[in-house]
Amino acid sequence: MTLFRNPVLPGCHPDPSICRVGDDFYLVTSTFEWFPGMPVFHSRDLVHWRHAGHALDRPEQLPLDGVPASGGLYAPTLRHHAPPNQAGRFYLVCTLVDGTDWSGHFVMTASDPAGPWSDAHRLDGEGIDPSLFFDDDGRAWCTGTRLTGRYEGHTEIWLREFDPSALALTGEEHVLWDGALKGSIWSEGSHLYKVGGRYYLLTAEGGTALEHAVMVARADAVTGPYAGNPRNPVLTHRNLGTGHPIVGTGHADLVETPDGEWWMVLLGMRPHHGDRCVLGRETFLTPVAWEDGWPVTGGRVEPSHPVPALPPRPWPAAPMCDQFDGPELAPAWNMLRTPRERWWSLDERPGHLRLRVRPESLADVANPSFVGRRQQHPDFAAFTSLDFVPANEEWAGLALVQNNDFHVLLVSTSQGLLLVKREQGLETVLAKAQAHPGPVRLGFEAHGRWYQASYALEAGGSVEPGGWTPLGDPVDGDLLSSQVAGGFTGAYIGLYATANGRAGTNHADFAWFEYVPL
């Protein structure tokens, strides 16, 4: 029996939404303040996924300028619709939260999920978590979540008709649902399906921490009334405690395979101790059966499970070391908020990523000179080679980032190498080492909650005799968890340069970056 391991998308990939077109599956996740936004993944077996593109990959599509940490892009839904005798089209709806120019729901379209996607077209409606449903009678509908004010955290799910030609909501509003359990909070993440002639409303409930759960209701008409499954929640880990390897399961979406199997993608977390998790909310996969007209999941998500009844279709593995020898950054790299200028280069010094040293820092709600990738494993090592001649107040090196108030830096400065912790907005120098001319190698090695910084001097492109030297004691990575730092994202690790508020013309060159699971 062949097993797959959960999560199928490790690292910060929350709020997964999935759709199938023929034999192909496509999936998108939330990205909050990170750019490019809303990665689109492609699979043919539900287990192996490749990065196909981003829905938001051009600054003019939608502004992320000034959005706070864990603001930005919330809970996209991806759907495909092919009217009779017409080419199919992909639709993506999402909410921009805490935008400085505007906030609210929007829709984007594409003929190819890999892109290009259209600019964001704003939609009416309150709240968060919009979702589209294309009925078999030719009509389309949009659901969303909004607070009611009846008590703290109480929400309701609303429904309006969607006009795919005008990209607009139309007609009267219907309130479908306000939670399955008495006193429920944050009934959200709704999706509609039609199975066996009935309409099914799948929702999340309980908030995205340990109380998270998946609920389902059904109706004979799309506008309701909806009756809850007497077995709700159909999936939760709230009863398993923090000792379980997977916690916080919820915010699910369903998909049917060509052979009639049903599967659920959903978010969950893998804590490193207690409820602390630096990896963020990841994408998991679990099977679904139908009994007595209701979806049945078995009640929990397993770390491993027999694979779907689909031919295995693995993709070529991505290299662990990025040599920065391509024309553009690899799709794994992200930036904070919308880049309004080109402060990075792959061609000014071929075979290097050059970052311009700018006033913006990771402590600012801005777009600093930082390119990062998701931490995807509890135990990992990451290394780079830095060539940088710093002036006063200029820093460059490696950064572990949760948000602007919580991060860890291993940087080359005019005072030497510094290991710096920023926690609750306060910076502390944890360790320092003497400055040396020439390139230096920097690294972090993580084992659960502990992150050890180290460095090595280079000579002729190789590490000098004596090898790597630890810098300071291991840093407690709890400060990178959302349980400590707040918000909805996981930790990122990447390459960074800043003048800490000063103007300048300097740059930092990185010859390569390597990320290795341990």
Each residue's pLDDT tens digit, 150-184: 999 999 999 999 999 999 999 999 999 999 999 99
Nearest-5° Cα angle at 174, 173 to 180: 145
Instruction: For residues 179 and 353, give the distance between their C-alpha atoms in angstroms, rounded to a whole number.
Output: 49
> In this predicted structure, what is the pLDDT of residue 473?
98
Instruction: Answer whether 96's CB lies under 8 Å from 103's CB.
Output: yes
> Across the chain, what does the average pLDDT equal?
96
Distance of CA 26 to the CA centre of its chain: 15
> In this predicted structure, what is the pLDDT of residue 251?
98
Instruction: Answer whether 119's CB lies under 8 Å from 86's CB.
Output: no
Each residue's pLDDT tens digit, 301-354: 999 999 999 999 999 998 999 999 999 999 999 999 999 999 999 999 999 999
Q: Examine the residue annotation and report whether 514 is marked as an active-site residue of this protein.
A: no
Instruction: For residues 344 and 509, give the distance between their C-alpha atoms in angstroms, rounded to a whole number.
Output: 10
> In this predicted structure, what is the pLDDT of residue 326?
94
Instruction: Answer whether 359's CB lies under 8 Å from 503's CB.
Output: yes
SS3 assignment, position 108: strand
Instruction: Answer whether 199's CB lies under 8 Å from 220's CB.
Output: yes
- Is the pLDDT score of 465 beyond 80? no
Residue-range domains of the chain with CATH = 3-306 (2.115.10.20), 321-517 (2.60.120.200)
Six-digit token string for 405:
């108030």
> In this predicted structure, what is the pLDDT of residue 436?
81
- Is the pLDDT score of 487 beyond 90? yes
Half-sphere exposure of 289 (CA within 13 A, CB side): 4
Which three-class secondary structure string do you get for 369-436? EEEEEECCCCEEEEEEEEECCCCCCCEEEEEEEEECCEEEEEEEECCEEEEEEEECCEEEEEEEECCC
Each residue's pLDDT tens digit, 51-108: 999 999 999 999 999 999 999 999 999 999 998 888 899 999 999 999 999 999 999 9
Q: Residue 159: which of 136, 184, 192 has the closest Cα?
A: 192
Six-digit token string for 465:
């005799």
> In this predicted structure, what is the pLDDT of residue 243?
86
Q: Examine the residue annotation and report whether 15 is marked as an active-site residue of this protein.
A: yes
- Is the pLDDT score of 461 beyond 80? no
Nearest-5° Cα angle at 444, 442 to 446: 170
Count Cβ atoms below 10 Å from residue 318 Cβ, excluding itself.
Answer: 12
Q: Could you list the beta-strand ranges (E) of 448-505.
A: 450-459, 462-463, 469-470, 475-476, 492-498
> In this predicted structure, what is the pLDDT of residue 35?
98
CA dihedral 318, 320, 326, 327 (to 10 degrees): 80
Instruction: For residues 184 and 104, give the distance between their C-alpha atoms in angstroms, rounded to a whole number.
Output: 24
Give the single-character DSSP code of 320: S
Catalytic residue among 33, 45, 161, 188: 188
- Is the pLDDT score of 458 beyond 90? no
> In this predicted structure, what is the pLDDT of residue 163?
98
Instruction: Answer whether 369's CB lies under 8 Å from 333's CB.
Output: no
Count Cβ atoms below 10 Å from residue 467 Cβ, excluding itself.
Answer: 10
